[in-house]
Chain A
Amino acid sequence: MRGVLARLVSAALVVWAAATCAFLVLQLIPGDPVYAIVGSDALVSEEQHERIREEYGLDQPLVAQYLNYVVRLATFRFGESYQLQQPVSTVLADQLWPTVQLALAATVLAPLLAVLVAVATSGRAAWPRRVAAAVELVVVSTPSFWLGIMLLTIFSFRLGWLPVAETGGVASLVLPTITLALPIAAVLTQVMREGLLSALDQPFAVTARARGVPETAVRYRHALRHSAIPALTMAGWFTGTLLGGAVIVENVFARPGIGRITLQAVGDRDLPVVQGVVALSAVVFVAVAALIDVLYAVVDPRLRRRTGVQAI
Chain B
Amino acid sequence: MKHTGTVIAALLLGLILAAAAFPGLLTGGDPTATDPLATLLPPDAAHFFGTDQLGRDVFTRVVYGARHSLAIGAAATVGGLLIAVVWGLLAALSGRFGDAVLMRVADALLALPGLLLALLVVLITGKGVIGATLAVAVGIAPGFARVVRAQALVVRRSGYVEAAIGLGVPRPLVTLRHVLPNTFGPLLVLASVTLGISISTGAALSYLGLGAQPPTPEWGAMLTESQGFLHLAWWAALFPGLMLVLTVIAVTVVGRHAQNRSEGRYAS
Contacts and interface: CB of A to CB of B under 8 A. Distances in A.
Interface of A: 13-15, 17-18, 20-22, 25-26, 28-30, 137-138, 140-146, 149-150, 152-153, 157-158, 236, 239-245, 247-248, 251-252, 262-263, 266-267, 269, 274, 277-278, 281-282, 285-286
Contact of B230 (A25, A157, A262, A274): A157
Given A18-B109, A141-B248, 15 more contacts: A17-B108, A18-B108, A28-B124, A141-B252, A143-B220, A145-B223, A146-B223, A149-B237, A150-B238, A153-B230, A240-B115, A244-B115, A245-B115, A266-B119, A266-B210
Contacts of A28: 124
What is the interface residue range for chain B against chain A? 35 or more
B230 to A, nearest CB: 5
A150 B241 contact: yes
Contacts of B209: 267
B200 interface: yes
A224 to B, nearest CB: 26
Interface in B74-116: 104-105, 107-116
A277 B200 CA distance: 24
A278 B115 CA distance: 11
A226 to B, nearest CB: 22
B54 interface: no
Nearest to A244: B115
B173 interface: no
Given A141-B245, A146-B241, A281-B116, A14 B123 contact: no
8 contacts: A30-B126, A143-B248, A149-B226, A150-B238, A266-B122, A274-B120, A277-B116, A286-B111
B169 interface: no
Interface of B: 104-105, 107-116, 119-124, 126, 196, 200, 203-204, 207-210, 220, 223, 226-227, 230-231, 234, 237-238, 241, 244-245, 248-249, 252-253
Contacts of B241: 142-143, 146, 149-150
A269 B123 contact: yes
B119 A30 contact: no
B252 A137 contact: yes
B115 A248 contact: yes
Contacts of A247: 115-116, 119, 208
Contacts of A282: 108, 111-112
B4 to A, nearest CB: 12
Nearest to A139: B245
Contact of B207 (A25, A236, A245, A248): A248
Given A14-B108, A141-B196, A281-B112, A266 B123 contact: yes
Contacts of A263: 119, 208
Nearest to A277: B116
Given A141-B248, A262-B116, A278-B116, A157 B108 contact: no
B262 to A, nearest CB: 18
The 5 A-B residue pairs whose C-beta atoms are closest, nearest first, are A244-B115, A146-B241, A17-B108, A240-B113, A141-B248
Contacts of A281: 111-113, 116
Nearest to A157: B231
B81 to A, nearest CB: 19
A15 B200 CA distance: 28
Given A17-B107, A138-B245, A248-B115, A143 B203 contact: yes
A37 to B, nearest CB: 15
Given A143-B203, A146-B244, A22 B120 contact: yes
A158 B89 CA distance: 53
B64 to A, nearest CB: 18
Contacts of B108: 14, 17-18, 20-21, 282
Contacts of B111: 14-15, 17-18, 281-282, 285-286
